[in-house]
């Protein structure tokens, strides 16, 4: 007999949140893998719950002021809940007669209050349903996740434990984009893991090894996006340009006739932006390019993993410009709030980008337990509590509110 499975992407509780091509990619893949069952889907951050949307799909979520957890009493900033109202989810739950399992995903560890809220609603309305929690939060913080009122916690990306728990067979992990057919964008990865090892990054805890996806899987994912007429595609890969000819190059050939526009929210490693690669990206219609710089401080770049140097960044820029990209289409990430990046160094990075004519995107640093940098970070916050991984709170704790705000206004002033 078919099971009734409900897939849920929970709301966000945070100081700030923006739909920067956010989709519950893992959850949609699991839904695709269990397509033979009766499926239901509720995305708190779906298209109905955005107050504005750009042409490429990015946009602002509806938000409401939320009670700030006591742990943030030192952070003098308002706290919000983003996404669909709780009542709407509960009405949706009531509209389904019987549910066998509610599968809730999660991304940032410090967004777990949204997971908790969704699980509580599901438990209240469907007390007999099994509640299953998966995604990044339980993978990185299993002890915390197990304290929530859920029946099964999925750690990591292996589908087998989930299949055994549900007692149903799965097919390919191809995202069920039918659930997001109102969306202007979809997301994809062509690989798993990352070949690098940055000192502050949790990727190895999520996916130990790096590998490219099989050609057959990519073809099916492309078809699944295309069937829903999704035109904007954002890559979630962590090393999108690595071994271009074996990876992205092959993908672009497979998707050549689909007229997708591509976006790279995860930041491209400038080291791999050769002249040839830049030309291929332009030809394939890459629109928004986010280049990783993290910091113009070469000592930090070296210490944190040596994935690139300033010189690599400038070469990449030259290659992109000569391939026909405009400076306006390129943005570069600068890390803010890492314990080893001084305020002056962030400002220097901003000025470096100004000289290069490229906009900065200040990315606040979020500390993750069990990384090489976590010990340095523990001085500022107890990392056993996931809320303390909050990027805004942590950056303010490292820099102080005044310096934090000064850096932000410095960037605004320089680029106005
Ligand atoms: S390149 Fe990105 S994903 Fe890879 S280890 Fe560094 S920060 Fe993590």
Which of ligand 1's atoms lies nearest the C-alpha of 238? Answer: 3
201 lines ligand 1 (CB under 6 A): yes
Q: How many CB atoms lie within 10 A of CB 208?
A: 10
Write out the E strands in 182-326.
185-188, 191-192, 211-212, 232-235, 261-263, 268-269, 286-294
Question: Strand ranges (DSSP E) for 205-280?
Answer: 211-212, 232-235, 261-263, 268-269
Average pLDDT over residues 283-307: 77
Distance CA 346, CA 76 (A): 22
Q: What percent of the chain has pLDDT over 70?
A: 97
For residue 33 the two structure tokens come to: 């893998």
> Residue 345 has which token pair?
């160094």
The SS3 assignment for 209 reads coil
Any ligand 1 atom below 6 A from CB of 16? no
202 versus 89: the higher-pLDDT residue is: 89
Q: pLDDT over 90 for what percent of the chain? A: 86
Strand partners, 82: 12, 63
For 130-150, the pLDDT digits (tens) are: 999 999 999 999 999 999 999
Q: Is 238 in the pocket of ligand 1 (CB under 6 A)?
A: yes
Model confidence at 294, in pLDDT bands (50, 70, 90)? confident
- Is the model's pLDDT at 283 over the cut of 90? yes
Write the pLDDT tens digit of every residue in 9-31: 999 999 999 999 999 999 999 99
pLDDT, average across residues 33-45:
97
Q: Enumerate domains of the chain plus CATH numbers.
A: 4-166 (3.40.50.280), 184-414 (3.20.20.70)
Reported ipTM: the value is 0.99
CA of 201 to the centre of ligand 1 (A): 6
The closest-lying atom of ligand 1 relative to the alpha carbon of residue 200 is 7
Q: Count other Cβ atoms within 10 Å, centred on residue 158.
A: 9
Q: Residue 65 C-alpha to ligand 1 middle, in angstroms?
A: 33
- Give the pLDDT of residue 300: 66
Pairing between β-strand 38-43 and β-strand 101-104 as defined by DSSP bridges: unpaired
Residue 396's pLDDT is what? 97
Q: Which of 290, 200, 285 is nearest to 236 (CA)?
A: 290
Two structure tokens written together for 280: 């291929």
- If you average pLDDT over residues 64-81, what whole number do you get? 97
pLDDT band at residue 311 under the 50/70/90 scheme: confident
Q: What is the pLDDT of residue 374?
A: 92
Ligand 1 centroid–CA 196 distance in Å is 6
**Ligand 1 pocket, 199 CB below 6 A?**
no
What pLDDT, on the 0 to 100 scale, is given for residue 304? 63
Q: Helix 391-399 crosses helix 401-414 at what angle (to 10 degrees)?
A: 100
Q: Which is more confident, 384 or 309?
A: 384
User: Residue range 96-103: average pLDDT?
Assistant: 98
């Amino acid at each position: 007999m078919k099971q009734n499975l409900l897939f849920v992407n929970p709301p966000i509780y945070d100081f700030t949140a923006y739909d920067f091509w956010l989709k519950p990619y893992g959850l949609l893949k699991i839904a695709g893998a269990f397509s033979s069952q009766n499926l239901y889907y509720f995305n708190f951050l779906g298209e109905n719950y955005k107050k504005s949307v750009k042409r490429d799909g990015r946009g602002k979520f509806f938000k409401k002021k939320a009670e700030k957890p006591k742990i943030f009493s030192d952070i003098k900033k308002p706290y919000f809940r983003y996404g669909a109202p709780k009542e709407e989810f509960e009405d949706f739950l009531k509209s389904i007669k019987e549910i066998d399992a509610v599968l809730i995903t999660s991304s940032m560890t410090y967004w777990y209050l949204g997971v908790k809220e969704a699980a509580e609603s599901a438990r209240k309305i469907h007390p007999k349903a099994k509640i299953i929690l998966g995604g990044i939060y339980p993978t990185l913080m299993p002890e915390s996740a197990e304290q929530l009122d859920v029946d099964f916690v999925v750690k990591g990306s292996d589908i087998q434990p989930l299949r055994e728990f549900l007692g149903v067979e799965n097919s390919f992990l191809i995202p069920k984009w039918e659930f997001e057919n109102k969306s202007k964008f979809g997301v994809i990865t062509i690989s798993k893991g990352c070949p690098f090892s940055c000192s502050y990054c949790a990727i190895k805890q999520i996916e130990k090894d790096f590998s490219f996806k099989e050609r057959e899987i990519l073809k099916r994912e492309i078809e699944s996006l295309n069937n829903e007429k999704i035109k904007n595609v954002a890559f979630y890969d962590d090393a999108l340009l690595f071994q271009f000819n074996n990876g992205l190059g092959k993908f672009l050939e497979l998707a050549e006739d689909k007229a997708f526009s591509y976006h790279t929210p995860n930041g491209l490693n400038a080291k791999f932006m050769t002249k040839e690669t830049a030309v291929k990206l332009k030809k394939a219609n890459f629109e928004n390019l986010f280049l990783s710089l993290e910091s113009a401080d070469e000592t930090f770049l070296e210490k944190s993993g040596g994935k690139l140097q300033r010189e690599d960044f400038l070469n990449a820029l030259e290659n992109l410009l000569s391939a026909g990209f405009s400076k306006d289409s390129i943005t570069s990430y600068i890390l803010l709030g890492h314990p080893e990046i001084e305020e002056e160094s962030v400002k220097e990075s901003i000025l470096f980008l100004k000289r290069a004519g490229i906009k900065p995107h200040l990315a606040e640093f979020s500390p993750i337990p069990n990384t090489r940098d976590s010990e340095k970070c523990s001085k500022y916050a107890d990392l056993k509590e996931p809320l303390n991984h909050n990027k805004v709170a942590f950056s303010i704790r490292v820099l102080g509110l005044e310096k934090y705000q000064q850096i932000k206004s410095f960037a605004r002033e320089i680029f106005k």
